[in-house]
Structure 1
Amino acid sequence: MRLRIINAGGDTAFRFGVTGHQLTITHTDGYPVAPHEAESVVIGMGERYDAILTAGDGVFAVIAEALGKVDQAVAILSTGAGSPPPPGTALPQARTPTVAADLTAADDVALGSKRADRTIALELTGTMEKYDWAINGTRMNMDNPLRDALAISEGTHRSYHHELDHDVASHASAWTHVPAPRRRPPQGHLDRAPRAVPSP
């Protein structure tokens, strides 16, 4: 069966898996990746994964474990006779959970490697206390959102270097930020980025 797994949460990353099964990840955010076998996958806020699962015969727990929080969501996959998993059933972790950085673009959608014309440094700052998030010390102007925007022309090849200040990093300890497989941004592109149209 094909699963489309979406994290619609605003502040929680989840580790997703099905007890007794492996997932074959085929897409992330609609873009095809080289098939990747995973016991479980970490899904960040707003991320989407497509995976193929070959269901065994029986009753299994489908688990989304809230990372950094003592909670989880559980559903039941029933394909045959058997008793439901008992309350408190946990998602196994015999293997390191898959994250986006473990995936690579599928060969038929990957772009060739190109050198960046420009490097853009982004310093992410702010505090949970005041919610004063900023980039390079500048908050977005709500009345004129593009006033302090970084200008990037179409076709420019660029690389990004970002840093979290100490306060942001201390509040991000519950989750790990990892780069997604290198995908095509709305304008221009990065090397090795897929160029396929997202799947419906």
Structure 2
Amino acid sequence: MQQSTFPSRPLILGSTSRYRRELLERLRIPFETAAPHVDETPQPGETPRDLALRLAAAKAQAVAQQFPGAVVIGSDQVADLNGKPLGKPEIHERAVAQLKEMRGHAIVFHTAVSVVCLETGFSAIDVAPVHVRFRDLSDDEIERYLRAEQPYDCAGSAKSEGLGISLLDAIDSDDPTSLIGLPLIRTCRMLRAAGLVLP
């Protein structure tokens, strides 16, 4: 008898990000989304990697408190420029400043994922680093890119799945969807451990 690909428990993505929703849809399993409502302010002395891990865990836990019988995914991404965290720019001027800081440099994008289920006591967390090398961008290139792509909801203003790929010299990662916002290899591993059948 063939096993069902449908989860025995509800699956909830604790995120309002359309990028994460689109990535999770690749797995062809039903899920709902819920906003985690977590303060994303970095703590004093917190590294970008630790910030990503803390926020991923906090988002998963916040949504799991509302749905204790569900398997909940929380995720967060923080760009790391020599230890300085770069989040979503939200506005054009901040995006310009981010890209000017990053041009000609290697950046690490830390994308953390946490999967929890309160009823079963399941909890797992991991982080997928992506090393990205930016070209030495001119001011005009930065302006043209931002006006065309408007990536103001992307950490570090770099939307690699779109026009942002033209800004880069190289990408190095063992979990290729991590840069877009959800490391699916790690997520699949955790969901299987939580009891879901994939594929």
Query: Could you say whether these structures have the same fold, taking a TM-score greater than 0.5 normalized by the shorter chain as the test?
Result: no
Q: Which has the higher strand share?
A: 1
Query: Which has the higher Rg, Structure 1 or Structure 2?
Result: 1
Q: TM-score range by the shorter chain?
A: under 0.3
Q: Which has the higher helix share?
A: 2
